[in-house]
Structure 1
Amino acid sequence: MAGDRRGWRVCLLGGAVFAVCMTGTTLPTPLYPLYQEKFGFSELTVTVVYAVYAFAVIGVLLLVGNASDAVGRRPVLLWGLGCATASALCFLCATGLGLLYAGRLLSGLSAGLFTGAATAYVMESAPPGGASRATFVATAVNMGGLGCGPLLAGVLAQYAAWPLYLPFAVHLALVACSACVVLWLPETVGERRPLTTVRPQRPGVPAPVHPVFGPAAAASFVGFALFGVFTSVSPAFLAQSLDVTDHAVSGLVVALAFFSSTGGQLAAGRAGVGRSLPLGCVGLFAGLALLAGALHWDLLALVVLSAIVGGVGQGLAFRGALSAVGGASPANRRAAVISTLFVVAYTGISVPVIGVGLLTDPMGLVGAGLVFIACMAVLVVTAAGYLLRRPVTARA
């Protein structure tokens, strides 16, 4: 019993460190309008600055995503916290676009290092029989941390001094505390190897997984694309179209999407993969429809509903996608297939968001948003239609 309590304490502390790291990755979200005002750049630049983060995550996942299997979890977590520290310093010292790009790049490197290492650490630290609960802890603190970033920055920017500096100073203090925690935590990798033994992972999808991977990847792509639009351009839409200049409100709207995703993931565990993936597609379509209504009628209530409904749909779809793809994959290729799914998901965060930025000048923010919604709706409806004809189940 004492061993179980210690195991859960270590598991939860590892989860708390994970949440702190992910908080930093979304911290700038409600601050982009302030950066635009200070440096005078366009909406396209905002989306590119945001997308740099996703490209960095993809690069780390492909090149050194398995580094913690070799050198241990704790060293990789410390590297991730080091990148998070450097990212916060870039934002604190930013005098132009160069340091904003650097800050987002370093933030992506931090998230890429943490995604695999922290998830594995939380799951490995759980007592025997606690694997399912630990998996939920890992996914919940990931999405919960992403939600805390815009909420923390929005509240500090609205109600405290130095809106472009205080959020990152607070995050630096949290990162320092997290580093102390990681130094205390026990290592979970027994036999460690030198970093030189780490090789880039080659994503791949074996032929037997193709029928499952297509709809799972499409739903993941749409879910992450919806999050990408919320975190990159929704503060600008709230300010320009709805006259919502309260940074705490814009941060809360984005946070609701991530918190709702955690709820969707919890529901997915109860619904099972056979139902959670198609239900997630329905939720994503409803979230897109609500967002279209919000853009067309300029209604804040529909923006909030879109964040909640779309977030639940994303949580259902992504946990269902992971279960379906993992269950259909051969054991010796499972890690590579899941890495491929994450690459598709993070591509959804970056490419459509840049597309919205490119269309904003000729079509306006509302027009660009409606084009994005139409494209994503086609993808998610196609995936849902396929799943209705060929339901999937997790086999492992």
Structure 2
Amino acid sequence: MVNTQLGGVIPTRTGRHMNPALAFWTVGITYLVVMASSAAPSPLYPVYQQQWGFSATMVTVVFAVYAVALLLALLTVGSLSDHIGRKPILIGALVLLVISLVLFIVADGVPGLIAARVVQGLAAGTATGALSAAVIDLQPNSSAGPLVNSVAPSVGLASGALGAGLLVQLAPAPTVLVYALLIGVVVLLAAALVFVPETSALRTVESRRHLATLLLPRASFPTGARVPFLMIVPALIATWSLGGFHLSLGPSIVGSIFGIDNHIVCGLEIFALFFSGALAAACVRTLPPRAVMIVGAIVLALGVAVSLVSISLVSVPMYFLGSVIAGAGWGGTFLGAMRTLGALVPADERGSVFATTFVLSYLAFSVPAVIGGLAVHSFGLEPTALVYGGFVIVLALASSIGFTVASRRERRGT
């Protein structure tokens, strides 16, 4: 448990705690569910469009407000778990998440949908830094934490999109049932987190002024490791730009370019991308992280190229193949980045540095998607998709080339 006072934050040992292995998996599953909730609305966007009559551009606006709220939370409370503990931050974030899911259920128009996404973004941003840090704190070995940190987002996004797609197509009242089921799971996880041992170093909060200072937006880089951190940035932008593309414009591509009016197919396409990423990350988890990033970025670029060709040829099988290949690159590249960070960052900086990492990731997740949504309105969906995909390919190849050159220089210097 944690005793919080203005004069400091004092860890205590009272109360029952679950064993470290169970705690590790509880936090990992929480991470997965938080990410699943963020993807769940994507297959529902066509339903909302039919009900309320808004455009594809408005879909990207709804997507963007989530990312902006998430970034705001990451920049302000992202490092707070280093000071007041992981558990208070995580439980508070899950309470916010439940509120957002209730808002989705009662929404009766675009303003209600935007409000729900804003609260959902605040919840996800509040949780992300603390979840990533807690996973590393509780890991049973040096590879387990980075693996969960890279797999949980991809599996969560995959399962959230596919589960929602299945419910939209097959179940009654999907705009209620999807969120009701998530509420039940989130409440159970919040109750379980009460028994997870606190893992934060709990740096002192000296006064109200100090607390206010901690909440000022900031970016934090690992001490003594800024150059390796900055080298990871192009890889983060490439991977998360790809994810934002599929979650925001993917349903429109399936419906408009391929002419498929089936919500399961929309969910399956997103599932193929992110689940492939999870499998790839699991397969390469023991390989050197830099090699994983180099090869992963090349595979990602290849997959996106296949997807772009499929759009030009209007080939659904090729589009799914491209998603699977790109997803494998996504998983490998992101795992390599997280393993590198996990080794670089001291324990008392993990919350803040992982928060900064995800600020960069979600900027890449949201900004290109918003620009793409605006471009669709002016230039059409297919040209926008081709330019967007080209942008991702260039970044992925730049990342791979950069790490290859750095590795050769290091070998020459040894």
**One fold, TM greater than 0.5?**
yes
Paired position in structure 1 for 2:20: 7
Rounded to whole Å, the distance in 2 between the matches of 1:66 and 1:36 is 37
| Displacement of 1:201 | 5.9
3-state SS in 2 of match to 1:270? coil
Distance 1:15 1:273, change over 3 A: closer
Distance 1:388 1:235, change over 3 A: same
> Could you tell me which amino acid in structure 2 is paired with residue 47 of structure 1?
T
Paired position in structure 1 for 2:285: 269
Rounded to whole Å, the distance in 2 between the matches of 1:375 and 1:317 is 17
User: 1:246-285 counterparts in 2 under 5 A?
Assistant: 246-285=262-301
| Displacement of 1:382 | 2.4
Rounded to whole Å, the distance in 1 between the matches of 2:335 and 2:393 is 20
**1:176-207 Cα distance to aligned partner (Å, 9 max, x none):** 22222123333334757559444046325589
Aligned 8 A contact 1:65 1:201 in 2: no
Identity %: 30
Distance 1:214 1:73, change over 3 A: closer
Aligned 8 A contact 1:88 1:172 in 2: yes
Paired position in structure 2 for 1:231: 247
User: 1:82-93 counterparts in 2 under 5 A?
Assistant: 82-93=95-106
Aligned 8 A contact 1:27 1:150 in 2: yes
Paired position in structure 2 for 1:147: 158
Distance 1:211 1:177, change over 3 A: closer
User: 1:188-337 counterparts in 2 under 5 A?
Assistant: 188-189=199-200, 191=202, 196=208, 197-198=210-211, 199=214, 200=216, 202-203=218-219, 212-324=228-340
| Displacement of 1:171 | 0.9
Range with greater deviation from structure 2 (146-155 or 65-74): 65-74
Paired position in structure 1 for 2:174: 163
Distance 1:174 1:161, change over 3 A: same
Residue 78 (structure 2) aligned to one of 54, 65, 71: 65
State yes or no: 1:348 paired with 2:361.
Answer: no
Distance 1:381 1:120, change over 3 A: closer
TM-score (norm 1): 0.89
| Displacement of 1:368 | 0.7
Rounded to whole Å, the distance in 2 between the matches of 1:310 and 1:231 is 14
Aligned 8 A contact 1:326 1:338 in 2: no
| Displacement of 1:79 | 1.1
**1:295-321 Cα distance to aligned partner (Å, 9 max, x none):** 111111122122211111112212223
Aligned 8 A contact 1:201 1:336 in 2: no
> Could you tell me which amino acid in structure 2 is paired with residue 172 of structure 1?
I
- RMSD of aligned Cα (Å): 2.8
Range with greater deviation from structure 2 (304-313 or 337-346): 337-346
**1:253-277 Cα distance to aligned partner (Å, 9 max, x none):** 1022222222232344222123111
Aligned 8 A contact 2:93 2:123 in 1: yes
Rounded to whole Å, the distance in 1 between the matches of 2:381 and 2:39 is 21
Range with greater deviation from structure 2 (212-221 or 31-40): 212-221
Aligned 8 A contact 1:72 1:188 in 2: yes
> Could you tell me which amino acid in structure 2 is paired with residue 111 of structure 1?
A
> Could you tell me which amino acid in structure 2 is paired with residue 117 of structure 1?
A
Aligned 8 A contact 1:219 1:380 in 2: yes
**1:38-65 Cα distance to aligned partner (Å, 9 max, x none):** 1111111111211222222221121111
Rounded to whole Å, the distance in 1 between the matches of 2:103 and 2:149 is 28
**1:338-362 Cα distance to aligned partner (Å, 9 max, x none):** 5443222211111110111111122
Aligned 8 A contact 2:81 2:89 in 1: yes
Q: Which runs of 5+ in 1 are unaligned?
A: none
State yes or no: 1:25 paired with 2:41.
Answer: no
Aligned 8 A contact 1:51 1:349 in 2: no
| Displacement of 1:233 | 1.2
> Could you tell me which amino acid in structure 2 is paired with residue 186 of structure 1?
P
3-state SS in 1 of match to 2:194? helix
Pick the structure with more helix per residue: 1
**1:11-69 Cα distance to aligned partner (Å, 9 max, x none):** 21222222222211111011111111111111111112112222222211211112222
State yes or no: 1:40 paired with 2:40.
Answer: no
Residue 118 (structure 2) aligned to one of 105, 116, 126: 105
Range with greater deviation from structure 2 (214-223 or 163-172): 214-223
Rounded to whole Å, the distance in 2 between the matches of 1:333 and 1:191 is 11
Aligned 8 A contact 1:56 1:109 in 2: yes
Rounded to whole Å, the distance in 2 between the matches of 1:135 and 1:383 is 20
Rounded to whole Å, the distance in 2 between the matches of 1:343 and 1:159 is 36
Rounded to whole Å, the distance in 2 between the matches of 1:98 and 1:171 is 22
Paired position in structure 1 for 2:135: 122
Rounded to whole Å, the distance in 1 between the matches of 2:78 and 2:99 is 20
| Displacement of 1:322 | 3.4
3-state SS in 2 of match to 1:243? coil
> Could you tell me which amino acid in structure 2 is paired with residue 101 of structure 1?
I
Rounded to whole Å, the distance in 1 between the matches of 2:310 and 2:94 is 38
Distance 1:371 1:387, change over 3 A: same
TM-score (norm 2): 0.85
